[in-house]
Structures are given as C-alpha cells and as structure tokens.
Amino acid sequence: EFKGCWGVGDWKGGNWASSNLTHTTKYNASLVSRRFSELIKMVGVSQNILGVSHFLNVLVSGLVFSIGGAILLKTTSTPLINNSNGVLIFLMLLLYFNTVMAMAFVCSYVSKGTQYVATLSVLAYVVLWIPARVQLDYDLPYVVTLATGLLPHVPMHWFWQEVSVLEMYGSGVYFSNMLTAKANSNASVFLSFVFMLVQAGLLYALTWYLSLVAPGQYGQALPWNFLFKVRPISESEVKIQEHSLFKDTLSGVCGTSCVVTQYWSKNEVIPDMESEEEDPMAQDPRFFESPPANAEIGIKIVNVSKVYPKQRVLRNVSLEVYKGEITVLLGHNGAGKTTLMSIITGMTSATEGTVYVNGKDTLRQRDEVRQNLGLCPQHNLFFPDLSLREHIMFFTMLKRGTYGEARASSRQLATQLGLQAKLGAQCRQLSGGMQRRAQLACALAGGATVLILDEPTSGLDVETRRELWDLLLSLRGERTVLLTTHFMEEADALGDR
C-alpha cells in the first residue's frame, strides 16, 4: 500500500516540478536572449544579485508546492501518509523543488534561445530520471549508494523509500529516526536532505559559471578558464589619465612599452607604443581637434577593435568623451556605432582594447561603472508586464532612489517627454514614437551621470524630435553624453564634439 502511495506522491510531485521547470527555463532564457538581464545589469545590479532575484521569484512557487503538498499528504480525510512528520515532508518537497529550479537555471544558459529550451529542459528532466529508477532495482554497496546520491532525483527516492518502510511499521519518519536508514540499499532521510542541498549547490555554481562564460549574444563572455587566471595590474594603476589621449595614452600604466593582459577579455591585447601602424596617438594634429583646457574625461576608449567571424566591425578606435558635453558619433547604418555603444556599456565584449568610464575599467569594474550609466538602446527593451510608471520607478529604485523619489521621478520624466497620459499603459502597447520616449525616460531615471544614447530620436516625428533636442541640450552641463545618429542636422544641433 505504501509503495503505491509513494509512487503516486512521487509522480504528482514530479509533474508539478517539471511544469515549473519548463516555465522557469523559458522565462530565464527569454531574459537572456532578449537582453533584459543585461538591461538590468546596466543600472548597476550585479550578476549575483540578479541570480538571487531569480531564485526569490521561483521560491514563492516552491513554497506553495511544498506547503500544499504536505497538507494534501497529511491532512485529507484519507491521508496517504499517516504517521510521518509533516515538517520533514515539507522540507523534502522544498529541497526537491529547489534542485529542479537549479536544473532550470542551467538549461536556460545551455540553449541559445527560447525556441527549443522547453523541449531541452523536459528532455533533461526525463532522461535524468532513468538512473534514479534503475538504481532502485539493484542491491548496491553502501558507498556506491551514496555516490548515486549526486544524481538528480535519487535523494528524493531515498526519502520516499524510508517513508514507505517506516509507515508500514506504523512509526513514520521523525526527527528522532531521520539519521538512520531502514530500507535496503538506501540512505537516511538526513542524507537525502544533504545530497539535495549538495546537488542544488553544484547546479547553482554551474549556472553562475555559464552566466559568465556563455551569457548569450549580448553579454560579455569570460574565457572558459578565467578561474585559473591571475588578476593583472591593480585598480590604482589603471586610473584614467588626465592628459590627452593623443599624447600619452597608457604612459601612467606601464611606460612606453608593455604587455597588458585583458583579464575580462577573450583575447590578450599587446599594445605596441612604438608602432606607427597600430598607434592611433600618432595622428596628424591638423585633422584632429585638441582637447579643451582643464576638461574632465568621462569616457576614454583606447584601441578598441571588434572582429566577428566574417568581418571586422571596429579597428583601433580611440576616443575621449568629456563631461559636460554632448559627443556625437555620426555615421551611416552599419558603420559600427551600435557595436561601440554595446562595448562601452558592457553588453558585448571587445576583441581588443580597453574602455574606461569615470576612470573605471568597464571590463574589470563592470558593476561599479554601470551604477552611473543610463542607456537608451537602438532597439526598445521593455519588460512585457510592466507599465511605463513601473519601468521608470524600477530603474530609479535600482539606482538607490526611494519609493517616493521614484514616484515623483516617473511623473516628472513623463511630463518632460509628453508621456503623462501614458503612465498607466504597458510599454509594449505604446506607439513606436512613444516607445522611444519611454526608453529615454528609463535611461534618465535615477539621475545617471553618463548617458549612452543610441539613436534616441529614431522613429520620432519632427516636433517631438525638436522637443527631445531641447531636453538633451539641457542635460549636457551635468552629465557625460555620448549620442549616435545618422542625421547630420541632429549632429549639428546637439554635438559639442
């Protein structure tokens, strides 16, 4: 009888967990593939905090699953489990759910997109059941039995086997007997809990590793062996130089010749300061404007190159963007403006070169840099279930604003951008021009000191574009603004440089 009850509980719990597995996997994969994760990290949220938030999102469902399952198994008119402690049943269900969710996080990074991720997660879930079921049919040595505990689902089988045996004896599972195993070729209830925690820990560690080495199309990927690399020069040695880039780039780091290992880059960059071909500093001053006196550098780009498998997009780009100015990158579609913006913001990694924002390396000090960044991407990025007000409040509060400040900021920015009538609407329901305004409002939320605006006026009518120009011009005395456009008129009207 209890063997049958164990099978029913096992099957129902597995169905619930597998349904949550597919939902969580698809949700996390969509965040990665549609750049939502990078958008959140752009405002200073670290990868670890983002991972904890994903865990807390699914924890609510796990608590419902665990509490509901324990109640159904213990308190119905004909309970399946009469004698065992309900708290232990709750803990087992919660730990098992936690392990399955850890599997979902791993699957969300293994797949390149969302098209096949649900199928992949279900297939992995079912295939990993096979070793657990096969193990039950053999009388294995105790050491081998413990080794199988590292396989998914096996610790849950241990628990239900103990429940079955002890319920048949009329005693049930309690804290007093959870340290010893009563079933043959089985481990104790305590060890089943321990191994579920170990499994979850290993899977979460694998998720963390995959999020760094395979973050998707838009993230910065670390080399697969980054854990074994030695950190290079200290932070103080890479502080931004106040002299002109065209006179003395990197001289404060290592003199006239050096080898700099890019710790967060896939490749090593070896700048040769004596090479005329690779040294952009040796440019003719007749064709390059001298930097303004006493100007403070907000963004410094040094020898940045980006090479895709079939083409080179950027080649040795070096640029200084000064605080209190609007610097415009003017070029036709496909010139590499968006690629450079993505490298500056950390949404993709450079093949070679280094970028500093407010004196901090965007690769090694990524989280610190992003706390002061506001990004208006070329293509709109909105959360599907949030209204415009919630978007602005979300980004304001992520930048350490209070709830009251976030409410006030949402009203102020909506009024500035002509969106006050749309505060309650979901961003995905807005027109194209309204969505561009909403994206700019998200970039301005929280008082970012460095604004990266990738064609912010694209899709806007003439009147709205002029109003937006006035707003951007009013910001230049307070912030570092880097803007891209392919309109000469817009570059003329907005650009200080």
Q: Does residue 11 belong to any structural domain of this protein?
A: no
pLDDT above 90 (res 122): no
pLDDT single digits (tens) 328-369 = 998 887 888 888 988 888 777 888 999 999 888 887 887 778
* Residue corresponding to tokens 């009251």: 404
The 8-class DSSP code of residue 426 comes to: B
Average pLDDT over residues 382-390: 88
Q: What is the token pair recorded at 103?
A: 């599997």
Query: Greater confidence, 135 or 342?
Result: 342
Q: How far apart are CA 267 and CA 71, in angstroms?
A: 55
Residues 336/327, Cβ–Cβ less than 8 Å: no
Q: Does residue 373 belong to any structural domain of this protein?
A: yes
Q: What is the token pair recorded at 20?
A: 């949550």
Please report, for the domain that includes residue 418, its CATH number: 3.40.50.300
Q: Would you state the pLDDT for residue 238? A: 37
pLDDT above 60 (res 151): yes
Q: Would you state the pLDDT for residue 379? A: 79
pLDDT above 70 (res 426): yes
Q: Would you state the pLDDT for residue 389? A: 94
Average pLDDT over residues 470-488: 84
Q: In which band, very low, low, confident or very high, does the pLDDT at 230 lie, cut at 50, 70 and 90?
A: low
Q: How far apart are CA 189 and CA 177, in angstroms?
A: 8
Q: Indicate the SS3 state at residue 311.
A: strand
- CA-wise closest residue to 456 among 313, 337, 344: 337
Question: Are 345 and 209 in the same domain?
Answer: no
**How many Cβ atoms are within 10 Å of 146's Cβ, its own excluded?**
15
Q: What is the mean pLDDT of the chain?
A: 78
Q: In which band, very low, low, confident or very high, does the pLDDT at 260 lie, cut at 50, 70 and 90?
A: very low
Domain boundary, last residue among 155, 190, 213: 213
pLDDT single digits (tens) 24-64 = 776 776 666 556 776 777 666 777 888 888 888 888 888 99
Q: What is the share, in percent, of the chain residues with pLDDT greater than 90? A: 19
Q: Does residue 38 belong to any structural domain of this protein?
A: yes
Which domain does 483 fall in, by range?
322-349+360-494
Q: How far apart are CA 236 and CA 263, in angstroms?
A: 16
Q: How far apart are CA 397 and CA 395, in angstroms?
A: 6
Q: Would you state the pLDDT for residue 356? A: 92
Query: Greater confidence, 235 or 382?
Result: 382
**How many Cβ atoms are within 10 Å of 299's Cβ, its own excluded?**
23
* Integer CA distances (angstroms), 94 to 70, 267, 298, 428, 434, in order: 10, 43, 48, 36, 44
Residues 308/348, Cβ–Cβ less than 8 Å: no
Domain boundary, last residue among 213, 237, 272: 213
Question: Are 191 and 55 in the same domain?
Answer: yes
Average pLDDT over residues 250-277: 38
Domain boundary, last residue among 148, 179, 213: 213
* Integer CA distances (angstroms), 138 to 131, 144, 191, 456, in order: 11, 11, 19, 65
Residues whose CB falls within 8 Å of the CB of residue 68, separated by 6 or more in sequence, listed in order? none
Residues 327/482, Cβ–Cβ less than 8 Å: yes
Average pLDDT over residues 391-396: 91
pLDDT single digits (tens) 162-191 = 998 998 888 889 999 999 988 877 889 999
Residues 396/446, Cβ–Cβ less than 8 Å: yes
Q: Would you state the pLDDT for residue 417? A: 80
Average pLDDT over residues 4-12: 45
Residues 299/344, Cβ–Cβ less than 8 Å: yes
Domain count, the chain: 2
Q: How far apart are CA 50 and CA 40, in angstroms?
A: 8
Q: In which band, very low, low, confident or very high, does the pLDDT at 15 lie, cut at 50, 70 and 90?
A: low
- CA-wise closest residue to 196 among 90, 51, 113, 94: 94
Q: Would you state the pLDDT for residue 346? A: 76
Q: Would you state the pLDDT for residue 366? A: 77
pLDDT single digits (tens) 267-320 = 343 343 333 344 544 556 776 777 777 888 999 999 999 988 778 889 989 889
Query: Greater confidence, 248 or 107?
Result: 107
Q: Does residue 404 belong to any structural domain of this protein?
A: yes
Q: Does residue 231 belong to any structural domain of this protein?
A: no
Q: How far apart are CA 383 and CA 40, in angstroms?
A: 10
* Residue corresponding to tokens 């009888």: 1
Average pLDDT over residues 454-479: 81
Q: What are phi and psi of 373, to 5 degrees?
A: -100, 140
Q: Would you state the pLDDT for residue 401? A: 83
Residues 305/315, Cβ–Cβ less than 8 Å: yes
Q: In which band, very low, low, confident or very high, does the pLDDT at 239 lie, cut at 50, 70 and 90?
A: very low
Question: Are 80 and 209 in the same domain?
Answer: yes
Amino acid at position 51, single letter: G
Q: Does residue 43 belong to any structural domain of this protein?
A: yes
Strand order in the sheet with 373-376: 326-330, 480-485, 450-454, 373-376
Bridge partners for 327 per DSSP: 482
Q: Would you state the pLDDT for residue 468? A: 81
The 8-class DSSP code of residue 471 comes to: H
Residues 92/156, Cβ–Cβ less than 8 Å: yes
The 8-class DSSP code of residue 222 comes to: P
Q: Does residue 266 belong to any structural domain of this protein?
A: no
Tell me the helix, strand and coil percentages in the chain, rounded to 5: 50, 10, 40
Q: Would you state the pLDDT for residue 304? A: 92
Per DSSP, the residues of 192-212 read: HHHHHHHHHHHHHHHHHHHHH
pTM exceeds 0.85: no
Question: Are 203 and 331 in the same domain?
Answer: no
Q: Does residue 381 belong to any structural domain of this protein?
A: yes
Cα of 302 vs its chain's centroid, Å:
26
Average pLDDT over residues 190-207: 94
Q: What are phi and psi of 243, to 5 degrees?
A: -80, 170
